[in-house]
Amino acid sequence: MSTSPSSGPALPSGAPVGDAGPAVAPVPRAGTTPPVCRSGRRATTYAHRGSSGMAPENTAAAFELAIAEGADYVETDVQLSADGELVIIHDVTLARTTDARLAFADRAPWNVQAFTLAELKKLDAGGWYEGEFTGQHILTFDELLDLLGGRVGLNLELKSPAVNPGLAQAVAARLRRRPDWIEPGARPQPLIVGSFDEQALRDFHTQLPEVPVSLITYDVPAGGMLTDLAGWIFSLNPDIRRLRPEDAGRVTEAGMALVPWTVDSPELWRWALDLGVGGMITNYPHALRDMLHGRDRVPGAAGVVIDDVRYRSPGDGARWTGEHVVLRNVSDQPVDVGGWYLRNQASDRIVVGDGYVIPAGGLLRVHTGPGDNDATTYHNGRTTAVWNSRNGDSAGLHRADGTIVDLYAYII
């Protein structure tokens, strides 16, 4: 279950997926038709930082998985190294998604822009996510293009141009040397270049006007501004947590594709489809594809669902450790959830302790922080909160082998 955007209508809880509805303009893909959900509406699947709900973001593993899962596009982030190489990484520091703290202990705060490509290549970019991904490395932009190899579209975000001066020009220059990606007739798969930074996007568009561009936002811009954008912007990527139904209509009426980020639960996918999105950016492209193809996951098929995420609220003190996720056994059999884990949108992983069995109809509270364990409460002993308490988050519940059991999203 999940909550709907506060300013929007209630999610269509229990509504048949087969609601009649008009086909919406999909983001075009050369020679193919985006998949149709059971309602008859189409939507294009963008794998956010690759299939990042299942593999470490922005690595070859996440991109290969997204391709195998049938995503239409991979979405990813490009920045500049100290020696001007284009590299694929989301954060402006290396701290979260590499072993830089260990490998370069004296280089805090580990800004990407302070490291040469040779140094970046020494880092492990997979082990932080799960041990089995140790050995993944930061890719260059060229390596990314080679890896994708015409098998999937690319939605490339010019990440943080303020700390990556010249990024738009560098990407355009590199793409000119990869004509297979920019000449419309020759393109094996489409390319869309996006950014939160409108000026950087304009700079890129000036250099390569034949490449469609997307503006990433939190809110949908006001009327006049939206009309201006529609003159040169191909798609708008607003934050799903801030998207209001009346604004969704304004985007498509202005002539742009509406492709919100980051949409990570079946309820939100259906809600967004009802708003007329042309595509969705998600950490779980396989699950979105399943839904679009009518293979909806049956809630509780694995016996256990995410009932609630109790995130920290503004009134909670700094030392509050009450943050937890409520798991509910909706079956008539006990379910052993030892080793199962939860993952948030930032890829934090909260593992349930061995031996935890939720009785039929029972609950288990999985705490992030420290505390005393008992039959209905398990504590991970972390010292920092993981569930986003500013605007919303999603939680994926995985079995110990990584398979998905349930997806839950909340919006604040």
Catalytically annotated residues: 48, 90
Residue 3 or residue 155: which is nearer to Ca ion going by CB? 155
Site string for ligand G3P, 223-252 (x = CB under 6 A): --------------x---------------
Residue 151 DSSP symbol: S
DSSP-derived pairing of the beta strands 235-237 and 257-258: parallel
**Listed ranges 72-80, 106-114, 116-124, 380-388: which one lies at the site for Ca ion (CB under 5 A):** 72-80
Q: Which of residues 149-188 bind Ca ion (CB under 5 A)?
A: 157
Question: Which residue blocks in 255-364 are alpha helix, DSSP H?
Answer: 266-274, 285-292
Cβ distance 218 to 239 under 8 Å?
A: yes
Interaction of residue 239 with Ca ion, rule CB under 5 A? no
Residue 141 or residue 378: which is nearer to ligand G3P going by CB? 141
Q: Which of residues 56-85 bind ligand G3P (CB under 6 A)?
A: 75, 77
Q: Which of residues 250-289 bind ligand G3P (CB under 6 A)?
A: 261, 281
Q: Nearest approach, Cβ of 54 to ligand G3P (angstroms)?
A: 16
Question: From the list ligand G3P, Ca ion, none, which binds 69 (C-beta under 5 to 8 Å, kind-based)?
Answer: none
How far is residue 50's CA from residue 90's CA, in Å, rounded to a whole number?
A: 12
Q: Nearest approach, Cβ of 296 to Ca ion (angstroms)?
A: 27
Residue 77 or residue 393: which is nearer to Ca ion going by CB? 77
Residue with tokens 């700079």: 203
Residue 311's SS3 state is coil
How far is residue 201's CA from residue 198's CA, in Å, rounded to a whole number?
A: 5
Crossing angle between the packed helical segments 245-254 and 223-230, to the nearest 10 degrees: 40
Question: From the list Ca ion, ligand G3P, none, which binds 216 (C-beta under 5 to 8 Å, kind-based)?
Answer: ligand G3P
Interaction of residue 77 with Ca ion, rule CB under 5 A? yes
How many residues contact Ca ion, by CB under 5 A?
Answer: 2
Q: Which of residues 326-385 bind ligand G3P (CB under 6 A)?
A: none
How far is residue 14's CA from residue 19's CA, in Å, rounded to a whole number?
A: 11
Question: From the list Ca ion, ligand G3P, none, which binds 175 (C-beta under 5 to 8 Å, kind-based)?
Answer: none
> DSSP for 322-334?
--EEEEEE-SSS-
Cβ distance 97 to 346 under 8 Å?
A: no
How many helices (H) and strands (E) would you count in the chain? 11, 19
Name the nearest CA neighbour of 283 among 337, 252, 326, 240. 240
Where on the chain is the footprint of ligand G3P (CB under 6 A)?
48, 75, 77, 90, 157, 194, 216, 237, 261, 281
Q: Residues in the site for Ca ion, rule: CB under 5 A?
A: 77, 157
